[in-house]
Structure 1
């Protein structure tokens, strides 16, 4: 798995959750930055060619999507497609970490909205579909 791309996709997923109700709130953006700094950077040891920790690509991608006022659905689908294409690189811990990060982000501004909760539920369902082996 290419870590830079993974973190870019995590940034897309986090943006999808923050933007699903129509607007990314400042508290959501601040929480994203906190999550990257306190939860992702400490556990990521790979860097890009400039020495930047690859975990920062989650924040970089989020910033780009905010600037472009990107659609939540397309970002969500991009993350799910990435996971499906690289599912052998994911384990239960990584899946749980991603779900917990988006839950944390969703909760920061006035609690989790119904749209955010629905998207998180959809994420869990999609991950279950991706990682469930088809029955013979």
Structure 2
């Protein structure tokens, strides 16, 4: 799994994407170990992803509600053109969602909302 193109994202976007990842992992009620493992694998293979892990772990520690963090994070994405990274974002979100017992409806709904917001 390589997400090398994301290296050119600014710190705010990487931080915010960590929050989106957290929201997808949390939307079913709790973050599963398998979902955390996906995030850690990305960090292990991509130095830039340290910021992503930090924001994911902060939200996990705080136990932020998935919907609230998703909406506030999407406001940041609304300010940037991230089309270049679109596929990588979606691939990683889907990998996290699929990590524990497959993608459930709530995870799919958040990913679909993310997709629509990035395309609008």
Greater CA drift, 22-31 or 71-80 = 71-80
Q: Secondary structure, in 3 states, of the residue corresponding to 2:78? A: helix
TM-score calculated relative to the size of structure 2 = 0.85
Higher share in helix? 2
Q: How many residues align?
A: 113
In structure 2, the gaps of 5 or more residues are 1-7
In structure 1, the gaps of 5 or more residues are 42-52, 130-136
Larger Cα-atom Rg: 1
TM-score calculated relative to the size of structure 1 = 0.76
CA distance in 1, matches of 2:76, 2:14: 11
List aligned pairs for 1:91-102, cutoff 5 A. Answer: 91=83, 93-102=84-93
* Preserved contact between residue 15 and residue 65 of structure 1 (Cα < 8 Å): yes
Q: CA deviation at 1:121?
A: 1.2
The partner residue of 2:97 within 101, 106, 114 is: 106
RMSD, aligned α-carbons: 1.6
